[in-house]
């Protein structure tokens, strides 16, 4: 069973994902294909379901005790603030040696599969994917680990399964977001 604070964190992250990926709620992003936004919301829901399992597994125990009811505008403000932090950390991590090496490795894999790809476009896509993935991880996972009593549970069998499911859904969410943003650029 999740505590009230953990449930609030889930709701905050529901809104925060949009701010991390789009800078605004997904409903305010103009896209010529509404199916993309619908798919994004489905994947976001699935990702948050796995995130809830992660919270239970690591015994999420936030130190912020909320005494008053939180309304939607306060929740969105918290989400925007968390998203700003997550994006800033992502920007810092993307330019590290490890961040550059991960992007280079990903580029090499893609180019080995199809040498005819446009390298400049591919570099932009890979940087964007990596930056978004890091920001989502920072928003959902980094703070969760700081606020949990049993982070070693992720090293056990069930924890590894939850973590793999998280990564697959995170990557799908990032892919959906990029498609929406590319679609938005075209409209």
Q: Would you say 178 and 129 are in contact if contact means Cβ atoms under 8 Å apart? A: yes
Q: 69 pLDDT band (50/70/90 cuts)? A: confident
Structural domains of the chain, count: 1
pLDDT of residue 80: 95
72-94 and 4-22 are packed helices; what angle lies between their axes, rounded to 10 degrees? 60
Distances (CA, A) of 165 to 42, 53, 67: 15, 11, 34
Structure confidence by residue, pLDDT tens digits, 74-129: 889 999 999 999 999 999 999 999 988 999 998 888 888 888 888 888 889 899 99
pTM for the model: 0.90
Structural domain for 100, as ranges: 4-186
Distances (CA, A) of 157 to 9, 35, 105, 141, 164: 25, 36, 28, 18, 11
How far, in Å, CA of 56 to CA of 50, rounded? 10
pLDDT of residue 187: 47
Helix (H) or strand (E) holding 77: helix 72-94
**pLDDT value at 146 more than 50:** yes
Structure confidence by residue, pLDDT tens digits, 11-61: 999 999 999 999 999 888 887 778 888 999 999 999 999 999 999 999 998
Q: Would you say 124 and 115 are in contact if contact means Cβ atoms under 8 Å apart? A: no
**Mean of pLDDT values over 157-180:** 96
């Amino acid at each position: 069973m999740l505590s009230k604070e953990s449930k609030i964190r889930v709701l905050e992250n529901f809104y925060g994902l949009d701010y991390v990926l789009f800078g605004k709620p997904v409903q305010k992003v103009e896209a010529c294909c509404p199916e993309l936004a619908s798919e994004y919301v489905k994947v976001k829901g699935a990702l948050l379901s796995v995130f809830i399992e992660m919270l239970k597994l690591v015994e999420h125990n936030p130190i912020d005790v909320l005494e008053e009811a939180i309304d939607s505008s306060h929740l969105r403000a918290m989400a925007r603030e968390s998203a700003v932090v997550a994006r800033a950390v992502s920007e810092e991590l993307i330019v590290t040696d490890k961040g550059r090496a991960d992007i280079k490795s990903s580029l090499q894999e893609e180019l080995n599969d199809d040498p005819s790809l446009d390298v400049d476009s591919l570099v932009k896509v890979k940087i964007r994917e990596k930056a978004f993935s890091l920001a989502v991880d920072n928003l959902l996972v980094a703070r969760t680990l700081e606020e949990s009593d049993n982070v070693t549970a992720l090293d056990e069998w069930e924890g590894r399964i939850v973590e793999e499911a998280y990564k697959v859904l995170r990557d799908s969410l990032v892919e959906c977001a990029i498609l929406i943003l590319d679609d938005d650029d075209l409209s």
